[in-house]
Structure 1
Amino acid sequence: MKNWKFFMMSTMIGSALVLGACGNEETEGNGNDEETEKLSGSVSGDGSSTVAPITEALVEEYSAVQPDVKVTAGVSGTGGGFEKFIAGETDFSNASRPIKEEEAAKLDEAGIDYTELEIAYDGLSIVVNKDNDWAKDLTVEDLKKLWVEDGTTKKWSDINPEWPDEEVVFYSPGTDSGTFDYFNEIILEDEDIVKATTLSEDDNVLVQGVKGDKNAIGFFGYAYYLANKDSMNIVTIDGVEPTNETIESGDYTPLSRPLFVYVKNESVKENEAVYDFMKFSLENAGEMAEAVGYVSLPEEKYKEDLDALEGLK
């Protein structure tokens, strides 16, 4: 496998991923050396920008195994991805949160059966500007006090009177993002986010925003922090820093979360390329997740999902 760590961070978000390079005659990275049946066709997906780095690495590797299969994966956010999934436009949908009841109901109305697959763990990371040498640790309650709209001008000194009496500048994933949904559920508890927050589905916009303002604070997936850790500071939450170990163990609570791919059952049954790509993804998701800065699942979980995928055939 190639070393994919941080390869895609500066170029991928905000555009569709379309990869189809020349390959070889042997299977690469799928756990065996058997000759692979060559396929052709197309596979389409969309969804979470948080999951997208894993998908991009998988698509690139898969193109070496099946060069005649064109895999596209847009990054319109978890909610936007589900909209396309519901409309029947995609074979799979990446998500950084579980599917909502209303989304599942719309899929049922549309007659679309699907299967949920977990592919990695993420630790939603709270970051501040590199010159911020005061906000090194925050509690969950501090986060709520900062981020919930209450009609006041938020200042760092509101959290600690020894901190600067300067207005906080907020950056957040957009409302179509599963990362926003997760933060909303865990931190905001469905209250309104600060009105002055800059919202963007493009995590690179958030990265640049935090880098550019001493008083900025933002949040996004762990991989995006790792890709930019030399130019921003991570904030520990209740004394715990997000790392591979604390995310996997659950010690980084409540901001640890699983990442998902939802696949259309009919596509798996009727399109061999969809089945083959999803199988390849599950067989290699752990390694690719680690390579781009996330945390792999236990092997038994990948096996469970592979069994579920096989059961759709």
Structure 2
Amino acid sequence: MAALALVLTACGSDDGGDDTSAGGSGGDNGAAAGELDTSVEGEVAVDGSSTVYPMTTAAAELMTVDGSPIQVSVGEAGTGGGFEVFCTGETDISDASRPIDEEEEVPVCEENGIEYTELLIATDALTVAVHPDLAVDCLTVEELVKLFGPKSKATNWQDINPEFPDQEIVGFIPGTDSGTYDYMAADVVEDESETLRKDFETSEDDNVLVTGVSETEGGVGFFGYTYYEENQDKLKAVAIDGGNGCVEPSAETAQDGSYSPLARPLFIYVNNKSYTDEPAVAEFTDYYIANLADIAAGAGFIPLNDEDYAATQDALAGIGG
């Protein structure tokens, strides 16, 4: 966090509006941060994805470093848990590691008169990790289905692949409120039930999953790339073969599309009324997006390319008509 603070201090949010530089794509997709209005006070309530949590927390803390008195509370109830409170008007912003569900969550927002704007903020490389001593280095998509799918009966790694070690499988996966769970179930396993196997330990706290995998022989789990990167001294990331050979998770492979199908978009959803009626919400959201490239890179995520960043800026500019 301190290193990230130095990055944004160097770029300057009070330097007369010089452009910030994009963090990972090699292009210049930074926005003119402009003058931070340190006279704006108030509170901003955020909840949702544990994957996006470090990025939103970084944005809040960096705005404080730059002199803002705005108080931002950031929860990590999971993407689904975040939408539950967002769609009833209890929060101003919802962190999400998947799009809002059109069948279940959108109707709740509509019932409660919550109009919102989706803002794409970064890309993540969903990372499958195992105990560092486990001799499993690459998994095909078919093997991911055998490992995590709801119909899986695999209890030994050799049930997944006869060439794998004779070792019991012990799984640690996100809970059902997590967008990370939803993404694995719906976009990778692609079972019509959109669920995963129920005999693995679950938690909405990614740190619990990291601890479980790192301390258990035969342990396996999955979470956002940031959590792997922070704990790579005690975990081993598994390469994924999406049909074109084994590819390891990284910023580069997620952005160029080769880390398929586990590269995924990350979002924040902003309550339009909160943005237009509450100066603190508008100030925080504007600051977040203005410094997005540096916040994403510093928090360990893959910054947007120039085209996607421009679309996010346009969406933000369109709030309130």
TM-score range normalised by the length of the shorter chain: 0.7 to 0.9
Partner of 1:119: 121
Helix, strand or coil: the match of 2:247? coil
Partner of 2:23: none
Distance, in Å, in 2 between the alignment partners of 1:188 and 1:304 is 30
Matches within 5 A, 1:30-69: 31-32=32-33, 34=35, 36=37, 38-69=39-70
1:261 to 257, 268, 280: 268
What letter corresponds to residue 126 of structure 1 in structure 2?
V
Q: TM-score, normalised by structure 1?
A: 0.88
Matches within 5 A, 1:1-313: 2-4=2-4, 26=14, 31-32=32-33, 34=35, 36=37, 38-101=39-102, 102-132=104-134, 134-150=135-151, 152-190=153-191, 191=193, 192-238=195-241, 239-313=246-320
CA deviations 1:10-50 (Å, max 9, x no partner) are xxxxxxxxxxxxxx994697745647352111111100000
Alpha-carbon spacing, 1:240–1:151, altered in 2? closer, same or farther (3 Å): closer
Helix, strand or coil: the match of 1:3? helix
What letter corresponds to residue 238 of structure 2 in structure 1?
V
CA deviations 1:195-215 (Å, max 9, x no partner) are 320100000000000001120
Q: Which moved more, 1:293-302 or 1:85-94?
A: 293-302
Tell me, yes or no, if the aligned pair for 1:51 and 1:94 is still in contact at 8 Å: yes
CA deviations 1:252-271 (Å, max 9, x no partner) are 01110100000011111111
Tell me, yes or no, if the aligned pair for 1:25 and 1:36 is still in contact at 8 Å: no
Tell me, yes or no, if the aligned pair for 1:46 and 1:90 is still in contact at 8 Å: yes
Distance, in Å, in 2 between the alignment partners of 1:55 and 1:257 is 17
Q: Which moved more, 1:200-209 or 1:268-277?
A: 268-277
Tell me, yes or no, if the aligned pair for 2:13 and 2:34 is still in contact at 8 Å: no
CA deviations 1:100-146 (Å, max 9, x no partner) are 012111111111110000000001000000111x2101100001011
Tell me, yes or no, if the aligned pair for 1:125 and 1:219 is still in contact at 8 Å: yes
Tell me, yes or no, if the aligned pair for 1:279 and 1:306 is still in contact at 8 Å: no
Alpha-carbon spacing, 1:155–1:248, altered in 2? closer, same or farther (3 Å): same
Partner of 1:8: none
What letter corresponds to residue 82 of structure 1 in structure 2?
F
Tell me, yes or no, if the aligned pair for 1:40 and 1:66 is still in contact at 8 Å: no
Helix, strand or coil: the match of 1:266? helix
Q: TM-score, normalised by structure 2?
A: 0.86
Tell me, yes or no, if the aligned pair for 2:172 and 2:213 is still in contact at 8 Å: yes
What letter corresponds to residue 98 of structure 1 in structure 2?
P
Distance, in Å, in 2 between the alignment partners of 1:59 and 1:282 is 12
Sequence identity percentage: 45
Tell me, yes or no, if the aligned pair for 1:47 and 1:80 is still in contact at 8 Å: yes
Alpha-carbon spacing, 1:151–1:97, altered in 2? closer, same or farther (3 Å): closer
Alpha-carbon spacing, 1:34–1:147, altered in 2? closer, same or farther (3 Å): closer
CA drift at 1:154: 1.9
Tell me, yes or no, if the aligned pair for 1:153 and 1:167 is still in contact at 8 Å: no
Alpha-carbon spacing, 1:153–1:59, altered in 2? closer, same or farther (3 Å): same
Tell me, yes or no, if the aligned pair for 1:51 and 1:96 is still in contact at 8 Å: yes
Distance, in Å, in 2 between the alignment partners of 1:34 and 1:54 is 21
Distance, in Å, in 1 between the alignment partners of 2:125 and 2:159 is 26
Helix, strand or coil: the match of 1:163? coil
Helix, strand or coil: the match of 1:295? coil
Count of residues in correspondence between the two structures: 294
What letter corresponds to residue 104 of structure 1 in structure 2?
V
Partner of 1:19: none
Structure 1: state its 5+ residue gaps.
6-23
What letter corresponds to residue 89 of structure 1 in structure 2?
E
Q: CA RMSD in A?
A: 2.2
Alpha-carbon spacing, 1:40–1:151, altered in 2? closer, same or farther (3 Å): closer
